[in-house]
Amino acid sequence: MSDARSRTTTPTAPLLQDKILLVSGGTQGIGAGIAAAAVRAGASVVVSGRRIEVGRRTASQLSELGHRTALFVAADVADVGQARASVASTVEHFGRIDCLVNAAGLTTRGSLVDTTPELFDAHVAVNLRAPFFLMQAAVGDMRRRQSPGTIVNIITMSALGGQPYLAAYAASKAGLIGLTKNAAHAHRWDRIRINGVNMGWTDTEGEDAVQRTFHGAGDGWVQEAGTALPMGKLGQVGEVAELVVLLLSERSGVVTGSVIDWDQNVPGAHD
């Protein structure tokens, strides 16, 4: 019998080695964190967003981070043409798209009684319609090449009900849960795996702006909010980014159509 101690161990390859990934909303917050984690995991990354200077700076930082190619594509995903064009630009530059993360999102407030048709339509455009047509374009490339691929949709715990002031947001993201499962079922025989992550309360610059703008939060609100949570802190971008990289990778096996509740409170459970 051979001595296990004498066996050599082959280093594990990076989870996304040589993969081509597009992250919508990848210039800030959760999207930027996912892009950075993906670069560290060996991927070449395209990030899309509306702010050109921020996007270019993000792409430059990503290129330096992993010594991989990173590209910025200006896109307002509320515009279907621009959303589709971001996939086309990815394919044109790299020759293909292997992975897609839909991280762009709109979180402006509005309840059932005060949401205007314009606000409702804006939420649907960014949070539901954009992922639909981004997935359509990405799946189209994967099927043309008869190659497997992976998609992760960033959703929200609020899709399970949410706060009264997030009516349009909750409705649009609940639709994204249904879309995630429908698309995963439709394309499982294409070996295209599609999953979602229901985000809990997370410490991002966007959340900081929302808390200060809509809820009167001041300096120190993150620490104060954390003391009231089971884990003593808000969720961290780097933590969820690692989960998304795992879901994008072959390491997550055959899982598809799953929507993971990434939160420290359990829906439906009561003390």
Q: Distance (Å, rounded) from C-alpha 210 to C-alpha 192?
A: 35
How would you classify residue 182: left for phi > 0, otherwise alpha for psi between -120 and 50, otherwise beta? Answer: alpha
d(CA 170, CA 127): 10
Specify the DSSP element, H or E, that contains 192. strand 192-199
Beta bridge partners of 111: none
- Whole-angstrom distance, CA of residue 179 vs CA of residue 193: 13
Name the residues annotated as catalytic.
Answer: 169
Residue with tokens 């995903």: 77
With contact defined as beta carbons under 8 Å apart, do 41 and 270 qualify?
no
